Copies of this chain bind each other. A is one copy, B any other.
Amino acid sequence: MVTDMSNSRNFELNCPLPISEYDRVLLAHGGGGTLSRKLIQEMFFSQFGNDFLLTEHDSAMLPAGKGRVAFSTDSYVVQPIFFPGGNIGDLAVNGTVNDLAMAGAIPKFLSVGFIIEEGLLMEDLWQIILSMQQAAERAGVQIVTGDTKVVDKGKGDKIFINTSGIGWIPVDVNIAPQNCREGDVILVNGHIAEHGVTIMSAREGLEFETTLESDTAALNGLVAEILAVSKNVHVLRDPTRGGLASALNEIASAASLGIEIEEEAIPIAEQVKGACEILGLDPLYIANEGKLLAFVSAADGPDVLEAMRSHPLGTNSAVIGRVIKEHPGTVIMKTSIGSGRIVDMISGEQLPRIC
């Protein structure tokens, strides 16, 4: 069933041949025979097609790049698979592109592994493929190798997607959590918590006055702008699962330094704040899919902030805190009434299957 829930489902409703024969994915589509080939050729190759993929080898054979290689993987199990602002397909492309970009790499090539539950609507699969290809084009990456498995009904949940990615890290770039330094300022590129709150609202069937949308986006273009204005970018991190709080805690722990953030400086949209109150969620722990944290030297902070604000994905960028030598491994938030609150990692799961 196609709904109008997601704007990424509207752009193309013509589907190639497989749907005309089968309106749902069968176990046989994952069996390695002619039905598998048909699915791959008519649906995947027709969209993802490039010389590397079309070699149809067991591996893609890619040109070597300069500098170090960044390599990352993520599986996506988000539920529902279509949501306002995106779907599991563009989320899977953007997420792995972002993981590469957070290492300062220029993302180049993606693999995609589908685990499909028997019975998935072929039309849903097609919309997901189209979104993936569009997301790949926007991010400037190519999908060069892939794999499809089909599991019996009741042994999966519509579709899970793994994307892995390769990028080249320029020789003069050295970004890692351990590089965080005392005095660094911490910037974020806009409103937090939008992805997680959107998913939870969609799942609970909640409707809000204003439209909530996932912030899913590829951040490699924004990272390029940041790296163009500063040689003192020490850490980049996208606060996905576990949100801002978990990302900051991981970095504080990796660098053995303290982090201090200011509650009032953290950009958050009013409707997200409202939705969090209704859902009983703390926005600091909610997943983002188009946000990054940049740790840069205090001297370069203003230039980086300006560069971020000039980018379409950074118009609401802000400095939200700084790195200190006190209380290593701990994140403290100065609240609006002036007190300090320890922002701990959560132990478990606030939002299952958010990405």
Contacts and interface: CB of A to CB of B under 8 A. Distances in A.
B352 A59 contact: no
Question: What's the number of copies of this chain in the assembled complex?
Answer: 2
Given A64-B65, A69-B62, A74-B147, A164 B55 contact: no
B57 A103 contact: yes
Nearest to A353: B151
Judged by DSSP, the binding face of A is: mixed
Contacts of A37: 345
A144 interface: yes
A257 interface: no
A199 to B, nearest CB: 14
Given A33-B242, A348-B31, A70 B75 contact: no
**Chain A residues touching B, range:** 35 or more
A90 interface: no
A112 interface: yes
Interface string A37-63: 100000000000000000111111111
A162 B73 contact: yes
Contact of A112 (B64, B73, B112, B149): B73
A72 B99 contact: no
B32 A242 contact: yes
A246 B28 CA distance: 14
A68 interface: yes
Contact of A246 (B30, B33, B177): B33
B30 A352 contact: yes
B152 A348 contact: no
Interface in A66-89: 66-77, 79
A58 B236 CA distance: 9
Given A35-B347, A56-B177, A77-B151, 13 more contacts: A28-B347, A28-B348, A31-B346, A33-B246, A58-B72, A71-B109, A73-B162, A73-B164, A79-B155, A115-B160, A152-B353, A155-B157, A162-B164
Q: Rank and list the top 7 A-B pairs by shortest CB-CB distance, nearest first.
A: A31-B349, A28-B348, A32-B242, A32-B241, A73-B111, A164-B164, A59-B72
15 contacts: A27-B348, A31-B349, A32-B242, A32-B246, A33-B350, A34-B345, A56-B254, A59-B71, A62-B70, A62-B71, A65-B69, A69-B69, A149-B160, A149-B353, A152-B353
